[in-house]
Chain A
Amino acid sequence: MTPLSGYLLVAAILFSIGLAGALTRRNAILVLIGIELMLNAANLNLIAFWRYGPHPEALTGMMFAIFSIAVAAAEAAVGLGLVISIHRHAHTTDLDRMNRMKG
């Protein structure tokens, strides 16, 4: 097993853990935690391919990962703002209870 396969496997494990967390937990914030784990796994993939890929001096993978970190931070901020706003309205963050469109 090449080193690159090792990193890709770890990224795949993290991605599925994040996906499982996002799909099975009740609290909306834990869904966002799962999403952050998935984004991190994708970043690991990008950097691993940059390192072991054909042209590391082109910096493509690293740039992609840096932009992905910035965008993930922005998305976490907006997502958590939404969760706080919904909590203010529905007085709960339990996703199983928020199953109606009626406000």
Chain B
Amino acid sequence: MIYTMDQIFVLLQHWLMGLLPAALQPIVGILLGVAAIVCLFPALFALTTVFERKGLARIQNRIGPNRVGPLGILQPVADGIKSLTKEDIVPLSADAAVHFLAPLVLVVAVFMGFAVLPMGRNMVLVDMDAGLLFFFAMGASTELAVFMAGWSSRNKYSLLGAMRAVAQMISYEVPLLMSSVAVVMIAGSLSLTKIVEAQNHYTWGLPHWYIFTPWGLAGFLMYAIATTAETNRSPFDLPEGESELVAGYHTEYSGFKFALFFLGEYLAMFSISGLGTTLFLGGWSAPFSFLGWVPSWFWFFSKMMLSIFVFIWMRGTLPRLRQDQLMNFAWKFVLPLTLVNLMVTVLWRFLGEGWQRWVFCSAILVLAYAAMGLAGMRRGHFGPRRYRYAE
């Protein structure tokens, strides 16, 4: 019974495949997985838009959407109908081909990232040996789509927003990769299923998730900062800051294309928090060994939704960072700390089991964080701004 509940989607897929002749079975199997992802995550996106607006509203001491349906639950339906029926305005001087392709490239690149996430026991669409590398390659492709959107609109605000967004995404890509490399070093594989299986052990009922180790906690915090910057979420949302850049790189998009950008941004948030739960929070493994009877996909999705909730919480609470503060933070603070984290991970691995490695690793990380913080504050990184052009 527990096994059936845990593997219910896999068993459903096999049963549907069994209804067809043997020649078509592999293709239909994969198509079923793809269809599940393409249906599930936009539905989650719709739920998250309402969740976010109500959550932000409550943080800001107001109610949020409550007209459409009970407690505003049907708001995404109204939003969907609105964006599908709005007139699609393309500026006359815009570059038509690039303007059309930009949202498509973004959504396709973001959807590809879901292919390697293990959403439950045996529930990976493609079990690749270099799964983590594939995920980051797809993430890197989204930057080009952002640039295409900003440049093709022939609008100063769009271009400025796009350049800021691309610069921010490139700057935070290095800490993102480096904090994941620490996990790869300990798990010994780039395959996401093996990383989850390495965390699926329990000592005295407590799990071996990587977040419960000193280097894992530091890595997770830096990963969280880098993902917030990669998906242009607050407090790193200057590229789409409504008070400054109209809407940044999606100013000139209306109707369905704007909905596609919105979808792309939220799906990127889902996939990158899914990766974060896989790398640091144990993926589909249960928090305590006595909770192992709950299906594995339930744990994966609840951890992912918890990360989304933290994103929404950060958006409602923290003020926006300025562009140069953001880039300074990335290159001069987070990147050196990720390098220190790598060294600490090596030390962890080679010190062997025992209390010594906990004490040494935690001490080194806390000292490094304190030293970098004090050095940064003393040197005053927020000096007068100087503008540089290429002439």
Give A residues with C-beta under 8 Å from B. Answer: 84, 87-88, 91
Contact = CB atoms under 8 A, between A and B. Distances in A.
Contacts of A91: 391
B390 interface: yes
Nearest to A85: B390
Interface string B309-324: 0000000000000000
B284 to A, nearest CB: 32
Nearest to A84: B390
Contacts of B390: 84, 87-88
6 contacts: A84-B390, A87-B390, A87-B391, A88-B390, A88-B391, A91-B391
Contacts of A87: 390-391
The 6 closest A-B pairs by CB, nearest first: A84-B390, A88-B391, A88-B390, A87-B390, A91-B391, A87-B391
A84 B388 CA distance: 12
A48 B391 CA distance: 44
A84 B390 CA distance: 6
Nearest to B389: A88
A13 B67 CA distance: 62
Contacts of A88: 390-391
Interface in B335-391: 390-391
Nearest to B391: A88
A99 to B, nearest CB: 21
A91 B391 CA distance: 7
A82 B260 CA distance: 38
A25 B117 CA distance: 44
Contacts of B391: 87-88, 91
Nearest to A89: B391
A59 to B, nearest CB: 14
A86 to B, nearest CB: 10
B373 to A, nearest CB: 31
B177 to A, nearest CB: 15
A88 B391 CA distance: 4
Nearest to A87: B390
A91 B389 CA distance: 12
A91 B390 CA distance: 9
B210 to A, nearest CB: 28
A64 B369 CA distance: 39
A87 B391 CA distance: 7
A87 B389 CA distance: 11
A14 B328 CA distance: 41
A88 to B, nearest CB: 5
A77 to B, nearest CB: 12
A84 B389 CA distance: 10
A28 B391 CA distance: 16
B195 to A, nearest CB: 23
A84 B391 CA distance: 8
Nearest to A90: B391
B58 to A, nearest CB: 47
B169 to A, nearest CB: 17
A4 to B, nearest CB: 24
Nearest to A91: B391
A94 B390 CA distance: 16
A87 B390 CA distance: 7
A5 B102 CA distance: 36
B50 to A, nearest CB: 43
Contacts of A84: 390
B140 to A, nearest CB: 12
B320 to A, nearest CB: 30
A59 B391 CA distance: 46
